Amino acid sequence: MTLLLLLSMAFAAPFNSGGGKVELPWNDFNTLYQKYVIDQQPKPTAPRDWTLDRAVFTGTVVGEGDDAYAIVKLQLKGEIHKKEGWATVPLLGAATALRSATIGGKDAALYVQSGYYTLITDKPGPFEAQLEFAVKLFSADGETGFTLPLPAAGATVVGLAVQSNDELAFEVPGAQGLDTTSVGNERRLQAYVPSMSSLTVSWSRKVNESAVEEAKREARVYAEARTLVGVSEGVLSCKTDIDYTVLHNKVDKFHVSLPADATVLEVRGAGIRNWTQGKDGGIDVELNYGAEGLYRLGVDYERALQSGADIPLVKLSGVTRETDYVGVDARSAVELIAKGTTGAVPIDVRELPAAITGQTDYPVLLAYRARGGDVKIPLEVKQHPDMDMLVTLVDTASAETLITEDGRRMTRIRYGVRNNRKQFLNVKLPKEAEVWSASVAGRGVKVSRGEGGDVLVPLVRSDASGGALSAFLVELVYVENGGELANGRGNLKVEMPKVDAPSSVLQWTVYLPTTATIVPRTSKGSVRRVDWFSAAPVLPAEAVVTQQARQAVNAEVANQGETGALGQGVEPVEVDLPLTGNAYYFEKMLVLSEDLWVSFDYKHKVKIR
C-alpha cells in the first residue's frame, strides 16, 4: 500500500516521462522519505526507566527548643520513559515523616523500598509530584539544623524560613549558591545544591563582625568518604574518594590515616604540590593553593588479603562532621562474610551512592554507612576452586555428503564457531578420509595432522560484540573411498567427523545417485532421519567477518607460510561440492563428543549403457 501511495503521489506531480524517468520535486520526495522511511524506523529505548529533572524543597521551622521540627514541602518534576509496564521511582528517604503525597492533585501510589518512599506507576510521560513531610531538628553548640537524603534530581533548590528575633547565619555544605534575606522576624534561606547523597541545613545566631573575623581564623571542614573495596585472590584493592566542604577559611593541607601495612598507589586531586606517607600509614597532602568550598581528594591503595582481618579504611583528621560509605565487591571466586562490625551499620547495596556502584562491573556484595570514628569491619574470605568452562562452541554444524555409484563419498561440513581461547579445532575424520580443502572465516588455511591422526584446523578468536562472542565459519571438504553400490538391494553406512567442541545442532544431507533410493524404515544410527530440518541452517556468512577475525586469519595463514605448513607459500585450492541426486535428511540436537553415523538399506538399479 505504501508503494502504491508513493507512485500515485509521484505521478500526480509534474514529471517528464522521456527516457522512462519520473521527476519528483525534492521537497515532495523529502516529505515522503521523512514520513515513510525515517518516521517509521523503530526508536531506541531510553537508557533508564525514569529521570528527575528538578527538586524544590520549601521548609518552615515550627515549635521551639527540643520540640522544634521542620515542615518541608517537596516539588519534584520528572518523566517516566518506560513505555510499557510498571516503573518505580525513589522520591524521598523513608527516615522522614511523610504527611501527604500527590501527583496531579491525586494521591500518589507510594511504598517503601531500600529506605526510600518509592512511586509506582504505569503511565509514561512527564509527571509532577508534591510531597509534604516533617523532619526532626538537631541542636548542639548553638547550632540547629536537619539532615535528609536527596533524590537523584538534575537540579536541586532548597528554601527555608525560620522565625527568629536575631540575625541568623545559615550553612549548607556543598551549596554552590546561598542567599539569605529577612522579612520582619522571619529569616529566609535559598540555596542551590549539586548532586549529593544527603543534604544538611544548619543555622546559628549571627555574631558581630569582630566575632566573625575571629571565627574565620579556623576553617570548618565537612567530609563524605566513599570507598570501594575489591576482593580478589590475595589482595584487597581499595579506591576512596573524599569530598571535603571547606567553610570560613581556606585550607591547603589534608591528613588521611591508613593502616601501616597498606600500600598507597596514587593520590588524586587538583593542585597537589606534594604528598608523603609516614611509617604509621598516614598521608599528608599539600596543595599549591588554598581550597575553599568543595574539594575532592582521591586515594588508591591496596593490602594483602588476610582472612578475618579488618578492611583497611581511611580515617579523616580535622573534620567537623564525617559520613562514610563502604562497598565491597568480589573480583574472583571468593565468598565474603562480615561479622562483628563496629562503628558502621550494614545497609542495602542500593543505598550506596552511585559514585561507588557505578565504577565497578563486579557485584557489590556488602555495603556499610558510618559517621566517622573508629570503624572496624572484619572480613572473612573463603576461596573456592574455579571450574572449567566452555571456551569453544559450535552453534550449527551443516553437512552435505555426496555418494557416487562407484561408492566414493565427498563431504562438505560447515561449522558456525564461537571461540574464546582454543587454538585448533580437533576433527577426527572417518577412516582413510582425505582432506581436500579447509577455510576459516572465508580464508583458505592448511590443516595439520595431530596425535592419533586427527586433523587440526587453526582457529581465530571471536570478536566480542555487544558483550557476546561473534561466530565465524569453519569449512572442511574431504573424500572417502568406498565399495561400489550393489545392483538391487544393499546396505550402506555413512559416518560424520567427531570434533572436540559441542554442537547445538547437526543438520546432515546425504545425496544418493538418482538410480538409488533408501528403503523406508531401515535407517539406524546416532543421527535421526527426518523429513525436513526443524529449522533452516543458521551459519555466519563467509564474507561477513569482523575485522579482528579477518586479521587473525591472515596472520595465521602468514605464520603457516613462514613455517612451511603451506608448502612454501602455496595457498590451498577451494573445492566446490557438486550436489545432485536424491536428498535425504538427518538431524541431531546437542552433539557432544560421540560417534556420528547412519546406516540404511537401499535399492539401486544400474543403468544399462
Same domain, yes or no: 74 and 149: yes
Same domain, yes or no: 418 and 563: yes
Residue 214 lies in a domain: no
Residue indicated by cell numbers 507510594: 110
The whole-chain average pLDDT of the chain stands at: 82
Same domain, yes or no: 197 and 283: no
CATH number of the domain to which 322 belongs = 2.60.40
pLDDT above 90 covers what percent of the chain? 30
Residue 212 lies in a domain: no
Residue indicated by cell numbers 590515616: 257
pLDDT above 70 covers what percent of the chain? 84
Of 152, 177, 206, which residue sits at a domain end? 206
Of 383, 400, 431, which residue sits at a domain end? 383
Same domain, yes or no: 483 and 344: no
Residue 466 lies in a domain: yes
Mean pLDDT within 244-252: 90
Same domain, yes or no: 462 and 591: yes
Same domain, yes or no: 378 and 414: no
| Residue 544: alpha-carbon gap to chain centroid | 26
Same domain, yes or no: 462 and 552: yes
Same domain, yes or no: 57 and 163: yes
Instruction: Return the pLDDT at 543.
Output: 39
Same domain, yes or no: 24 and 58: no
Residue that wins the pLDDT comparison between 116 and 79: 79
pLDDT at 552 over 80: no
Q: How confident is the model at residue 563 (pLDDT cuts 50, 70, 90)?
A: very low
The pTM of the full predicted model, rounded to 2 decimals, is 0.44
Residue 211 lies in a domain: no
List beta partners, residue 39. none
CATH number of the domain to which 132 belongs = 2.60.40.1730
Same domain, yes or no: 572 and 453: yes
Residues 335-378: tens digit of each pLDDT: 888 888 899 999 998 899 988 988 888 889 899 999 888 889 99
Residue 345 lies in a domain: yes
Residue 213 lies in a domain: no
Residues 82-117: tens digit of each pLDDT: 888 888 888 888 878 888 999 888 888 888 887 788
Instruction: Return the pLDDT at 225.
Output: 94
Mean pLDDT within 529-536: 90
Of 353, 383, 413, which residue sits at a domain end? 383
Residue 45 lies in a domain: no
What DSSP string describes 217-283? TS-EEEEEEEEEEEEETTEEEEEEEEEEEEEEEEEEEEEEE--TTPEEEEEEETTEEEEEE-TTS-E
pLDDT at 497 over 90: yes
Number of domains composing the chain = 4
Instruction: Return the pLDDT at 484.
Output: 85
Same domain, yes or no: 371 and 398: no
Terminal-to-terminal C-alpha distance of the chain:
58
Residue 356 lies in a domain: yes
Same domain, yes or no: 446 and 564: yes
Nearest residue to 338 (alpha-carbon basis) of 326, 323, 350: 326
Q: Which domain holds residue 369?
A: 220-383
